[in-house]
Structure 1
Amino acid sequence: MDKVLITGLQVDTVIGIYDWEKQLHQTLVLDLEMAWDNRAAAEHDDYQQALCYETVSKRVVQLITEKPIELIETVAERVAHCLLEEFFVPWVKVRVMKPGAVAAAQAVGVEIERSR
């Protein structure tokens, strides 16, 4: 299976369940793995056949920042749904990390895999 990868995508957004969290922006870090058949794009050196990293990244940032979200689990599910339905990827793995959420940990996060 071919994959398109986006790692370390940083998104500043309002995220959290506590009142104080709803008053500030925090950074989430996302890693995306998306199944995509790269053969046609590679064979013809054709951008139109590729899954565009920039377009995917911009859409994910827009999705996460358009309104406050309380849970990183919700972020992961919404991103996975978007990639499956809007970009027609057959399978996706989404990792969402929230640095600094727990004092004793570098980051906390969730990882999900979804398919069509």
Structure 2
Amino acid sequence: MDRIHIRGLHVETIIGVHAWERQLKRPLLFDLDLGVDAREAAASDRVRDAVDYAAVAEAVTRLAEAEQPALLETLAERIARRLFSEFPIQTLRLVLSKPGAVAGAKSVGIEIERRREDYAVCGR
């Protein structure tokens, strides 16, 4: 399987469980690894046969700005579902970091791994 990656995608949004966190936008950083079959795109040299990196980044940004959930876990799962519904990817590894969320730590976050099959069961 081939992999496309996007590293350090920076999005400013409201996220958090505490009232003070819901007052101002905070930075989030996204690292994505998308499992794809790149052979058709490599042969044709046409973006229409590839996963458009800019479109993936835009989808992540739009969702993160619009959803504004309390938990990083919720945002990560919603992004995974959206990417599988909009793009021809087979696997996803998503690392979502929230810099400055815990005193003394550079960042906190979550890492999830999903496969297309994860969303084909029981109508999920």
Return the TM-score normalized by structure 1. Answer: 0.96
Cα contact 2:32–2:94 (8 A) shared by 1: yes
What letter corresponds to residue 33 of structure 2 in structure 1? Answer: E
Which residue of structure 1 aligns with residue 58 of structure 2? 58
> Quick one: distance in 1 between partners of 2:114 and 2:90?
9
The 3 A distance-change label for structure 1 pair 9 and 34 is: same
Verify the 8 A CA contact 2:59 2:83 in the aligned structure 1. Answer: no
Aligned residues with identical type, % of pairs: 43
> Residue by residue, what CA displacement relative to the aligned partner does 1:60-116 show, whole Å, maximum 9, x if unpaired?
100111132111111111111111112131110111000000111100110000111
In the superposition, the TM-score normalised over structure 2's length comes to 0.90
Determine the structure 2 residue equivalent to 1:40: 40
CA distance in structure 2 between the aligned counterparts of 1:82 and 1:6, rounded to whole angstroms: 16
Structure 1 counterpart of 2:62, which letter? Q
Secondary structure in 1 aligned to 2:60? helix
1:108 maps to 2:108: yes
**8 Å contact from structure 2 (residues 36, 88) kept in 1:** no
**What is the Cα-based RMSD across aligned positions, in Å?**
0.8
Q: How many residues align?
A: 116
Runs (5+) with no aligned partner, structure 2: 117-124
1:69 partner SS: coil
Whichever residue aligns with residue 86 of structure 1, its letter is E
Structure 1 stretches of 4+ moved >4 Å: none
1:73-112 pair list within 5 angstroms: 73-112=73-112
Structure 2 contact 29–98 (Cα < 8 Å) conserved: yes
